[in-house]
Every structure is written in C-alpha cells, then in structure tokens.
Structure 1
Amino acid sequence: MFSFINNIRIKTAAQSLLTLCILLLVPHASAEQRPNIILIVADDLNWDDLGAYGNTGVNTPNLDKLAKNGMRFDNAYLTASSCSPSRASMITGRYPHNTDAEQLHWPLPKEQITVSQTLHDAGYWTAAAGKWHLGEDTKQRFDVVRESKYGIDEPSGSAQWLPLLNMRPKEKPFFLWLASWDSHRPFYQGKYPHKHTQEDVRLPPYYPATELYMNDFAAYYDEISRLDEYVGKVVSTLETQGVAGNTLIIFVADNGRPFARDKTTLYDSGVKTPFIAHWPDGIAKGSVSDSLISSIDLAPTFTALANAVTPASFEGRSLVSLFKNPSAPFRDFAISERNWHDFEDHGRSVRTKQYRYIRNNYFDLPATPSADTVYHKTWWELTRLFEQGALTQQQSRPFLAPRPKEELYDLESDPYELTNLARNNQYQAILQQHSDILDNWIEETNDFIPSFRTLDDFDRKTGAYAPNRKRPRPSKMEMYQASGRY
C-alpha cells in the first residue's frame, strides 16, 4: 500500500515538474486565443429540475437561455452523490476514493493536484467564491478565494460572484469556481425572485403527495430560481465586460435534490447532473449531446482548452471533441460512489446508456439520507406514514433493511428506477455485464471496502446529533491498512 501511494506521488510530482518546464520553454498563447473558464456548481440540485431539462414548473429563464444558446448534455453523471467528495473529484479530475477526500467533510490533501493550480501555472488568474467545502490547503491553489459561510454571510452563497468577476486582472485569461448554497436546506432563507406554488410542483412517485411535501418542493424550486438569477447576473457582467464570446461557462450540480431518495443515493436522482456548456466562440448554439460523460472529465477539459499539460493524475477525458461533434461516442459507462455522509454507507454504481447497476456493500443498513434531510419535518412525516403502513413499497425504501445486494434498472422503461431487475432471469446477462464492468473498474482504480465502519453522526430515525456514538473517523491510511487490499 505504501509503495502504491508513493508511486502516485512520485508520478504526480514528476508530471508537475514536466508541466513547469514546458511552460517555461513554450510561450503562452494570448488571452484572446485561450478561453476564460467559469465553472458554476449548484448545491443539491436535481438534473431535471430546470426548464431546460423539461420541468417547466421551475422558473429558470437564465439557465434555460444558457442552454438554448449553448450545449445541453443529457447524460452527465457525477462520481459521488455527496457534496464535498463530488467537488473534490471535479477539482482533481479523480474518482473520490483516489482524492483521499471521499468521505463528507474530509479536506482535500495538499498532495492532490488540482485543475486550479494547473491553470494558474499555465498563466490563468484563478479564483473561487461561494460555498467552499474543499479544505484550507486547497485555497492555496487559487489566487483569490472568497468563501461564503452559510447563514452568516448571506443565504444564497453567490453574493461574491460578481465582485470577483469585476476584480479580475484584464491582461490574463481567468478561471472562476463559483459555488452556490442554493438549493441546500434549510429553505425559506432570504429573498427569492420567484415564488412557486403547489401547482408548479412535479412530484416523483416515490414521495407521498401530502400538503407538506408539495409545499416543501415549491420552496426548493424557489431556491433554484434564486440560483438562476445569479447565473443571469454573471452572463450580463461578462457581456458588459466584452468577454462573453470567449468565455466558457459550465453549469453543474454537486448531487441530487435534498430529499430522502435523491441526495446521497446512487440513483439518477442522486448522481445524474444538469450539465450546460455555453461558449459563443466555441460551441454551436442550441446543440444537444446525448453522449455519456462524467464529472471527472471537467478538469482535463479545462487544461486542454488552456493549452496546459494535463497532469497524469487526472482520470477523466477532455470533452473538447464533443463541443465540436455533440453526437460522437465518448464513454461506455460512468461510475459513481457512495461513501460515509453523516451516516455510514458504502456502494458503487455503473451507469450505461440504458441501465443502472448498483452494488450495496453495506446492504444490512437502511438507505438513510443525509442529516439535513433527516432533521427536517418532511422526514418526520415520511417516518410517521411508514409506521402507519401508509407508504408504497417505493416510498418506503429509505427505511428498509436489509436492502438488495444488487440492483439493476432499465432507465428507458423505468426512468424513476422503481423496478429492480437484478433477480429477473431475463436480465442475468445484463446484470453480469455490469457487474464485470464494476469489478474491472475496482481493480483499475485500486478501490476497496474498509474492514471496519465509521459510526453515524446522527440518529437515523430522528436526526438528533449523537455525540456519544461518535469516535474519531479513521484516517485514509488506517482504512487502506484495514481493508487488506494492500
């Protein structure tokens, strides 16, 4: 295990040295030749809760316009259904378990190579504003970081986006990491540009259509509309500055909506992301790509556009070819991870064009959602209805244990992933094919299952903080050693 980690560090150090040598020997392309790059990361947003993706009940005129004038990706997937691991994966171009930050709130180690540092070394001005969630060491990989503390600074997390854009040096291309708190719980915080009603709500069938749920979804839509307003302000500022044409904006989410069968799950509602790319000088207006892509593809895309050497540690692939040919084949599958997030769990998932395969490694545990969901009154209502026997089997899933060891869904006929086909005799060949894909990926990426579990931080039923059950979480080194894999 030690030799494995040391080899990775030696490789990445050598790659960094090579990058520096090339940058010293080869003159930078001018700012006009290389695009400015803005990555906007929404918080807890489902892929299909935007007008551009078919949910016309949500007021998102600016994001809809961004998609209409750029490229919409319809098969984009995250590597994690949990906020900080997902963000760590984006900024390093690596799968969560290889970032050493795969569990919630684990800071990204300073040994990890980030795309922000790579772009900085290539001559870009790099800055971040809004929600952070990446640890203190990662702040040193940007020229400027303006972190927003939720509930202290302002509720949207987006107030520093425009000041950052206005302070950029005009002689350099720039890379901005803009992260919102919208649409993270709690809702009803601050002002909203649009108020939604129950009539606007499109409720998935795995939630009960109670008054509380309908109103809570409407409040979630309100948060999305505020995020949309800030995206519009960014675009307007770029136009005022005269740089909109040569600025690539990519809009994504870190995981699915903050409800019981979405965020922290390995279903599409947990790991499928909206993915909008807008670049007037480089992407055809109104284009749509059905090609399957992953969030680990962001970092190598940015380095390719910046004419920077892509670090060997990046595990993704550049999307630049899809900007030119949206229908080109790209990936055969996308992998997503489920690790500790407030509550213990461990699972992996394979998504192909038609199917999703899930392997629940801790199948003895119920699929308890994140703590921000569990300490909310919608969870208490769901719990009450479950105890009364008033929920359908699908609505009861977050409470059921044991879970199936394996799950398989046909997304063409079952978009909400309601019917598990893993034990259906007609699908055994497909099940085996996807299981083999996952096994090969586990070997190739040195994934593992820890031999001991991290304790929950909260009560799974009430959401109450459980300090008496909490002990120090194991370090990554301890987890490697205990796994028996190395």
Structure 2
Amino acid sequence: MNNHLNFNTTGLIVIGLISCTKENKIPVPAPSPDPRPNILIISCEDLSPRLHCYGDSLGRTPHLDRLAAMGTIYNRAYATTPVSAPSRSSIITGMYACSYGAQNMRTNNKSSVVGALDSLRYKDYFDLPLYDAIPPADVRCFSELMRQQGYYCTNNSKTDYNFAPPVTSWDENSKHAHWRNRPAGKPFFAVFNIMATHESQIWKQSNDTLITDPNSVTVPPFYPDTKKIRTDIARIYDNMSRMDSAVGRILQMLEEDSLTKNTIIMFYSDHGDGLPRYKRSIYETGLQVAFIIAKPENSDDGKRSNRLVSLIDVGPTVLTWAGIPVPDYMHGIPISDTVPAREYCYATADRMDVAIDCSRSVCDSQYRYIRNYMPAVPFVQDIPYRNQMATMQELYAFQKAGKFNGLQRQWFAKTKPKEELYDIINDPYNLRNLAELPAYKKVLDRMRNAHETWRNDVGDLSIVTEKEMIKQLWGGNTQPQTLLPAVTLQNTGTDSILIGLTCATAGASIGYRFRSEGHSWNIYNTPFIAHAKAEDTLEVVAHRIGYKPSQPLTIYVKP
C-alpha cells in the first residue's frame, strides 16, 4: 500500500495510511497572561535527607536551604520503591508501579554490565523479554493532562518510567527542554532531573579531591567503620553539594525571568541514598527522602511538617495546583491542608537488575511493617552494578573474613524473616525486629491488615511470576502495537481542509505536528483546519502506554 498520498483542497474524506501538511497561521492578538501558577519540579537521584536544612551539619546545600526557608520541609516523605525506574513510573502515573507491571528494575533495557555476564548464572533474568509496563487504558502521564489544559510541559531529561512515554507526554523532553521555550502567555510545568547524586557517581567521582572530611561522617551501625566506607559516604556529601549548585542555577534562571512570584517549586529525591542497604532496600534508609514545597503566595518560612507524604502524591498535588481534576485511577492524594493526611505510606521492592525478590512495606507515623514474600532469598544478592562500589566490595570482604559484628551480620543472613516490624522513631535504621514480640502483636496485626488491604485494593501484579505477568499484560507472547490512526480530510472552503484523527486502540493518545512548526507534538482532541496555501507535512502517531507506538503517518498537503 502507498504510504504517501497527496491531497489538494478539493480532497474528500480519506481514512487510512497517509501523509500530509500544515496550515499557514493567521495572525492573532498576543494572548493575555494565564493567571494559573507555573510549577517547577527539581528532582535528584539516590539521596536520603542529608540536606543541611534537615539538620545534617555536613550538608553544604545553601540553595536548597534557601528554598526550604521559603516553604515547607516534610520530615516524613517516602518513595514508593527504593530504586529509580519503578519510583519514577509511579510518580508520572500517580499509580503504584506494582498495579500495572512497572515494579521491577528494569523492564525495557539491560545494561552493558549485566549483558556481559554469564547468561546461565542469571538464567531467570535473561529468559525475560524486554517489555513496557501497561497501565489501564485511561491512564496518562500526568504531564499530558497538564498539556491538555494549556500548560507548557518540559522534562529535562530523564524519564526511566519502565515504559516509553508517548510523544504527547511533553512539549519538550530532552536535555535542552526549558520553560524559556514556551509560547507567550502560557503557564509552564517544568521538570529538571539532576544526576549528580546518582549511585554511580560515588565511584565515577572517586578520583576527585574530597571536600568532605571522611573522619567527620557518621557510619551507620550496619557497616564496619573503615576508610573506604567513610570515603564513599563523604563522596555522597560532595556529590550533594554539586547537585545543590545545579539547583542554584535553576533558581537563578527563575529569578532572571521574574517568575519567582508566580511559580510553585517542589524538590525531592527519587529514593534513599545510593549506598548498600539504602538503595534497593525497603527500610527507612532506602525509602525516606527529602521533600520541600515552596509556594510564592504564602510565607511558611521553613515550616516543618510531620505529615506523611508519598511520592505517589506528586501527580495529584501538581494537578490540584493547576486547577485540574485528579483522575479517579490515581492512588495518590493532594498534599494540601484542605485534604486529610494519609495514614500510611506503602512501598514495594521486586527484581533488582538480576536479583529476583519480592517484598512489600507499609509505615505509619511510628512503625514500619515489611512482608517478605520470598523469605528463602537472602537480603544481599549479587548485583553486578552495585558491586562496582568500594563499600560493597568492603562488605563482601568483611563477610568472607568473618569480621562482622552482630548488627553488621544481619543484612548478610542467608534467609529473611517472613515479617518484620520496626519502631522507626526509636530505631531509624530498622535493626530491631519487633514482629515476634508479644507486646507488639496488636501493632503487627494492624500493620499487616493495612498491607493486605492495600495489596488487594491496588491489584498487586507480583502475585504471579514476572514472566506470567508479562503474558497477562500482553495478552500473549508479543507486545501489542497501537493501531494505525485513521485520518479524515474534508474540504471546508478555499485553501482549507478539516482534518480528523481517530485510533481504534483503546486508551491511545494521538499526536500530530506540522514539520514547519518544529519538533513538538500536539495532542489531538478535536478536528482541526489546515490551510493549504503553502506545502507542508503533517505527521501523525498514536501510542497507548505500554504498547508499541503505531506506525507513523505522513500527510502531504499541497495548495
């Protein structure tokens, strides 16, 4: 079939594979400024609440401290999972990753480190196909909902959602994405992802001169106190300082553009520190994050809140700020004084690279409950990516030499308890398991019930193996593909064509763009007019999250 059909302004309705162009724009008056607030999210990687404004005297974070002084510091903020991709996926959808198949780390690529391994050693991992998580048909990246309501949305630039975001998700999605590129009069929603504190930077920056004195850091009791471990912890503080400098540059641009009086700013990390038993571990160390909100219309002046906050709440909160209804499918709630605070924060931990496991956790204001669904699997599994870190190498060396003390030995136990319960106020490192103590039976029963109720409510897909889950998501053994959009072209008068777009795939977003206008994709909602006074090319694509995108459609419109 010919994929490129030419149409003139007398063309009738056409449905099928095609390719066409865009209209000449009619000059319109400059738009009035939109009164809705601009919204800026600054996120970082792999960082526990070590900021100076959180009370850590080693933290050199003047820019984030200044931001915190203008807003609210949340002391009890948690990720939904202690690793990047599932965490970021739950943020962008507002749904727990385990409810739509995004809970594993990762699903749609395999790193060169892993790829070089002996496939027989990690057979269960290498037998898995690459796949994208598939949420229900009505789910969108919440940035797309913002775009539909007139916000200019930019992401700079990490996505890592365990699915490929449709082109309709962002106006710009690249390392060059910036609110400064928006049309006049449009409010913006801008996300900047800063990589300086990522786990990998602990070893990749190891040749740089340390500013933080390793002798001044606190070594957690589950580590032996060695020079190598102190050096890695000190490196986190140095990397955090570099991250803070990047935050300062973003805030400076906001001030240069005179936007501080109409911009709400949110800062958070995607999960806890990149150190062993922090990242990938479903304890306080892996889940608790720094979280700051600064609003221009109030002066909280560094207010501290003990309200429970989950990163699942980011989407509903941003939508509420923008005056956009929160979809019923979202699991999160807006962070607002007018909305009752959550009673519990929930978290998941599943396959981490090659290491297959399944644990769930719930915390309230004082206790953390953990259910280990694979208790025969040890806490510590061989994860090649993590093994590049000196701290991990040191831990293995101490284990082999039998030099651990009692607390240090816990994490290297050959099995896990089925249930764990910790007093997170008095035991912030989660080292004393209270689950079998009679005095805590009522607490254990309550937390267990909260976990089981939540797991049933969200439809946790880890009740089956990952391979079986993929088949359920796909409806077979092959990733489904979004169907080709259908196009109707109808003559509406001299030099103009009414263009309609549809897609038979339930839940597919349709994006279109005229090449003469640049790279950004428009979201299709209703038929639009193209004026064929000059040649142009209209590109169309449909994409349901988790499916392969449709084949591209190209429409040539000629006068």
Which of residues 368, 388, 393 is equivalent to 2:406? Answer: 393
Map of 2:142 onto structure 1? 115
Map of 1:476 onto structure 2? 470
Q: Establish whether residue 136 from structure 1 lines up as the match of residue 164 from structure 2.
A: yes
The answer as to whether partners of 1:83 and 1:255 remain within 8 angstroms in 2 is yes
Quote how far apart the aligned CAs of 1:33 are: 2.7
The answer as to whether partners of 2:45 and 2:194 remain within 8 angstroms in 1 is yes
RMSD between aligned alpha carbons?
Answer: 2.5
Residue deviations 1:332-372, cap 9 Å, x none?
11110111111111111010000000001111111236543
Map of 2:89 onto structure 1? 88
Give the alignment of 1:38-117 within 5 angstroms. Answer: 38-47=40-49, 49-106=50-107, 107-109=132-134, 111=137, 112-117=139-144
Secondary structure of the structure 2 residue equivalent to 1:105: coil
Map of 1:348 onto structure 2? 360
Which AA in structure 2 matches 1:352? D
Relative to structure 1, the CA distance from residue 397 to residue 311 in structure 2 (aligned partners, 3 Å threshold; closer, same or farther) is same
Which AA in structure 2 matches 1:336? A
**How high is the TM-score relative to the length of structure 1?**
0.80
Map of 2:305 onto structure 1? 289
Residue deviations 1:265-311, cap 9 Å, x none?
11111111110011222452221211112111111111111111222
Which AA in structure 1 matches 2:169? R
CA distance in 2, matches of 1:399, 1:479: 35
Map of 1:3 onto structure 2? none
Quote how far apart the aligned CAs of 1:144 are: 0.5
Map of 1:187 onto structure 2? 202
Give the alignment of 1:379-458 within 5 angstroms. Answer: 379-452=392-465
CA distance in 2, matches of 1:335, 1:34: 32
Map of 1:157 onto structure 2? none
Map of 1:315 onto structure 2? 331
Quote how far apart the aligned CAs of 1:38 are: 1.4
Which AA in structure 2 matches 1:427? Y
Secondary structure of the structure 2 residue equivalent to 1:394: helix
The answer as to whether partners of 2:141 and 2:165 remain within 8 angstroms in 1 is no
CA distance in 1, matches of 2:33, 2:217: 44
Identify the range of structure 1 (334-343 vs 311-320) with the bigger mean alpha-carbon deviation. Answer: 311-320
CA distance in 1, matches of 2:324, 2:33: 13
CA distance in 2, matches of 1:35, 1:176: 12
Unaligned runs of 5+ in 1: 1-28, 148-159, 323-327, 455-472
Unaligned runs of 5+ in 2: 1-30, 108-131, 477-559
Map of 2:553 onto structure 1? none
CA distance in 1, matches of 2:305, 2:251: 22
Which AA in structure 2 matches 1:297? D
CA distance in 1, matches of 2:475, 2:361: 24
Which AA in structure 2 matches 1:174? F
Secondary structure of the structure 1 residue equivalent to 2:196: coil
Quote how far apart the aligned CAs of 1:448 are: 4.3
Quote how far apart the aligned CAs of 1:108 are: 5.0
Q: Establish whether residue 210 from structure 1 lines up as the match of residue 221 from structure 2.
A: no
Quote how far apart the aligned CAs of 1:75 are: 0.9
Identify the range of structure 1 (425-434 vs 280-289) with the bigger mean alpha-carbon deviation. Answer: 280-289
Higher helix proportion (structure 1 or 2): 1
Q: Establish whether residue 145 from structure 1 lines up as the match of residue 173 from structure 2.
A: yes
Secondary structure of the structure 2 residue equivalent to 1:308: coil
Q: Establish whether residue 174 from structure 1 lines up as the match of residue 188 from structure 2.
A: yes
Residue deviations 1:110-164, cap 9 Å, x none?
85311100000010000101333124334540011115xxxxxxxxxxxx5xx62
The answer as to whether partners of 2:98 and 2:462 remain within 8 angstroms in 1 is no
Quote how far apart the aligned CAs of 1:169 are: 3.0
CA distance in 1, matches of 2:326, 2:301: 28
Higher strand proportion (structure 1 or 2): 2
Relative to structure 1, the CA distance from residue 35 to residue 443 in structure 2 (aligned partners, 3 Å threshold; closer, same or farther) is same
Of structures 1 and 2, the larger Rg is shown by 2
**How high is the TM-score relative to the length of structure 2?**
0.70
Residue deviations 1:463-485, cap 9 Å, x none?
xxxxxxxxxx5553448999xxx
Map of 1:17 onto structure 2? none
Which AA in structure 1 matches 2:160? H
| Higher relative contact order, chain-length normalized (CA < 8 Å, sep 6+) | 2
The answer as to whether partners of 2:100 and 2:461 remain within 8 angstroms in 1 is no
Secondary structure of the structure 2 residue equivalent to 1:45: coil
Q: Establish whether residue 374 from structure 1 lines up as the match of residue 374 from structure 2.
A: no
Map of 2:487 onto structure 1? none
Relative to structure 1, the CA distance from residue 30 to residue 422 in structure 2 (aligned partners, 3 Å threshold; closer, same or farther) is farther
CA distance in 2, matches of 1:425, 1:371: 40
The answer as to whether partners of 1:125 and 1:172 remain within 8 angstroms in 2 is yes
CA distance in 2, matches of 1:435, 1:252: 28
CA distance in 2, matches of 1:451, 1:318: 32
The answer as to whether partners of 2:232 and 2:390 remain within 8 angstroms in 1 is no
CA distance in 1, matches of 2:323, 2:179: 22
Give the number of equivalent residue pairs: 415
CA distance in 2, matches of 1:292, 1:142: 29
Residue deviations 1:22-46, cap 9 Å, x none?
xxxxxxx975531111122211111
The answer as to whether partners of 1:88 and 1:108 remain within 8 angstroms in 2 is no
CA distance in 2, matches of 1:242, 1:199: 43
CA distance in 2, matches of 1:384, 1:73: 38
Which of residues 360, 366, 373 is equivalent to 2:372? Answer: 360
Relative to structure 1, the CA distance from residue 388 to residue 66 in structure 2 (aligned partners, 3 Å threshold; closer, same or farther) is same
